[in-house]
Amino acid sequence: MPMKHLLLLFVPILVRGYKTHVAEQPDDIPDIPSQLHDTVQELALAFSLVLQNLTNASGIIRSGDQHLDRSQITYHPGNLQVDEEFVADKAAGFYEVLHDFFHGLGDVEEAHSMAALCPHAFIPNIMACIKASSCIIQMGIPNLIDMEIYAGMLEQMIRFEEIMWPLLRDALMTEPGGGTVADDLVFPEMFACDGTVHTAGNTVLLSVDSEHAETLAVAAALHEATVASHQILDSHVLNSSMDDTIDKLQRTWHGPCQKIGCDHTNYWDIFFRHHEHSLALINVGHPALLRSDIHMRFMLQHRVQRFIGDNHRDYSFVEKYARMDQEQAYSWDVAVAYHSRNKEALQSLASMLLSSVPESRLERLVDRHKLAWAEEELLRETSVTSTAVAHNISANQMSALEVDEGEGEAGDAQWGRRRRRRRRRRFFKAIVKAVVKVVQVVAKAIGSLLACMGDFGKFAATGYTRAFTPSTAGSIGLSAGNTNFLKDILGGSTPSGWISLDMGFSVGSTSEIWWAGAGFSGSLVCDTTGACSIYVAVAILATGNAKMPVSALCPLGASIGAMDCSHCAGASMTILCCSFDLTNGNNGCR
């Protein structure tokens, strides 16, 4: 039974979730051996970066060989074996950290059998290994890992698991010889940390103060209303009255909304306000309940988007119930606050790791191209600085600066000034001769990757939906400019004049009524030089596109050719930065 030790290690997770607030002594330490403390923190960083990597890989593979921006992406997808290697390489750093963790457990035999569950380059197990590592990380809360970091990780993971992973797996499966990718291995139960039930029953286990009791009561109410919402949406059939369905949903949320202050008549207000409850769970230190809370909120959003797609001919659901931009200001603010706290927490973990673990350990988490880019950037910045400094020195401003500084000093200013001057000269010389250090390169690369990740946003875009391929689509509406230029762009040519667009795009799996994949929605100005591409942070999206009868953004009528005017709206969190060319659908992420 080589896995027994790990079993012992994993069981306390479930129990600890309930116990943290009962016994909140600082010495209530996690059951992670101390030699593995920094490995668990490293795993949390690798976790976020691997989701980003795999989202990028999925976009590249799903684009096929045609729609990639060749100035950025040199890889040619389409050959199963090579694609599998490509994907495996995207998870290489993450697996190394995970294996470090297993080996750090001490027992060699055990480490090997653990590592055998997550072998390098074995695609079918990737999702299961990512989930298992989230459970390892959960054990590190709160001493090694902040709840906020965990929350951000889970928000990304659920989107990846539900939207991106199936797309990636299916893309590989449909390649010649790809049948075997489908067989996901079932993981031993000990790797699981899902499954906290929200029923009021759990509160019986706890001796809690009133704040905790209230939070748990809200958890139960939200859970109940969410389950009921799924049932209502599922039972809406072809002939059902949309008004009745909306009415049932609104009545379901009336009670919970009185508890949390949401507007029961607007789905998006409920969705945004729900984040305040996640903040409360973070405050009371309840990782297991937070995990199921995030899952629950996402799955209902996903269901609502599906519903909009399935009922795309009936715009009234969007008009009367999923009313984006009509939410209460506070509901929106609290959702933004939750996500920005999570983002900041991950960034500070990364800077802490950069100063505490050898850079070679973090270097392996980042793509070589990204490291090369970071080094170039740093060298460029350094040479700009040294040129500027050299110029300023020759302008003889250095001594003025020194005198200024010296004047504030009393006593033997003369000595102090002289010493300072010498030090300052050495300092300037050091800059001019600077060689970029590896740790700076790694910091720059990771900083740039994390900057693209975890920003929360909402969107509501209307336009003519144009599918470039079954996996790439764009939606283009005219917010200002000439309709002739809109026709140009819809026809796939560069507009001959200035035009402002309401637009969206998605790379993954797209049809007119359903987009899933990496995407963005916003506005774009195409200028007379014909530049019609954007570089933005994209999110993992799944949106239902409802057909719109009339809209100023679709000035050419409800449809033009095979393109219908449609509307999609939603909320998302960014995962990476990509470019997209609206005229031809070419895309790439760096």
Ligand X SMILES: *[C@@H]1O[C@H](CO)[C@@H](O)[C@H](O)[C@H]1NC(C)=O
Decide: is 370 part of the binding site for ligand X (CB under 6 A). Answer: yes
Choices 90-98, 295-303, 435-443, 552-560; region in contact with ligand X by CB under 6 A: 90-98
The rounded distance, in Å, linking the Cα atoms of 231 and 236 is 9
Choices 26-34, 336-344, 384-392, 523-531; region in contact with ligand X by CB under 6 A: 384-392
What is the DSSP annotation of 148-216? HHHHHHHHHHHHIIIIIHHHHHHHHHTSTTGGGGG-PPPPPGGG-------SGGGGGG----HHHHHHH
Residue of 35, 199, 383, 392 that binds ligand X (CB under 6 A): 392
Decide: is 73 part of the binding site for ligand X (CB under 6 A). Answer: yes
251 half-sphere exposure, CB direction, 13 A CA radius: 7
Task: Considering the complex, state which of residue 236 and residue 302 has its C-beta at the smaller distance from ligand X.
Answer: 236
* Plot region of 544 (φ>0 → left; ψ -120 to 50 → alpha; else → beta): beta
Residue of 40, 46, 540, 546 that binds ligand X (CB under 6 A): 46
- Considering only residues 229 to 258 of the shown chain, the ones binding ligand X according to CB under 6 A are 237-239
What's the closest the beta carbon of residue 392 comes to ligand X, in angstroms? 4
Number of residues that bind ligand X (CB under 6 A): 30
Residue nearest to ligand X (CB): 93
The rounded distance, in Å, linking the Cα atoms of 544 and 309 is 4
- Compute the CA torsion angle 101, 106, 109, 112 (nearest 10 deg): 10
What's the closest the beta carbon of residue 568 comes to ligand X, in angstroms? 25
* Plot region of 498 (φ>0 → left; ψ -120 to 50 → alpha; else → beta): beta
Decide: is 22 part of the binding site for ligand X (CB under 6 A). Answer: no
Nearest CA to 152 out of 262, 57, 56, 279 is that of 279
Decide: is 49 part of the binding site for ligand X (CB under 6 A). Answer: yes
Decide: is 385 part of the binding site for ligand X (CB under 6 A). Answer: yes
What's the closest the beta carbon of residue 560 comes to ligand X, in angstroms? 32
Decide: is 590 part of the binding site for ligand X (CB under 6 A). Answer: yes
DSSP state of 273: H
Q: How far is CA 37 from CA 78, 100, 419, in A?
A: 41, 11, 43
- Considering only residues 135 to 174 of the shown chain, the ones binding ligand X according to CB under 6 A are none
SS3 at position 542: strand
Answer yes or no: are the C-beta atoms of 254 and 264 closer than 8 Å.
yes
Decide: is 427 part of the binding site for ligand X (CB under 6 A). Answer: no
Answer yes or no: are the C-beta atoms of 276 and 222 closer than 8 Å.
no
Backbone φ and ψ of 69, nearest 5°: -75, 105
DSSP state of 125: G
Decide: is 56 part of the binding site for ligand X (CB under 6 A). Answer: yes
What's the closest the beta carbon of residue 514 comes to ligand X, in angstroms? 22
Choices 52-60, 120-128, 418-426, 492-500; region in contact with ligand X by CB under 6 A: 52-60
Decide: is 576 part of the binding site for ligand X (CB under 6 A). Answer: yes
Decide: is 291 part of the binding site for ligand X (CB under 6 A). Answer: no
What's the closest the beta carbon of residue 538 comes to ligand X, in angstroms? 10
> Which residues contact ligand X (rule: CB under 6 A)?
46, 49-50, 53, 56, 60, 73, 75, 89-94, 237-239, 364-365, 367, 369-370, 385, 388-389, 392, 397, 576, 589-590
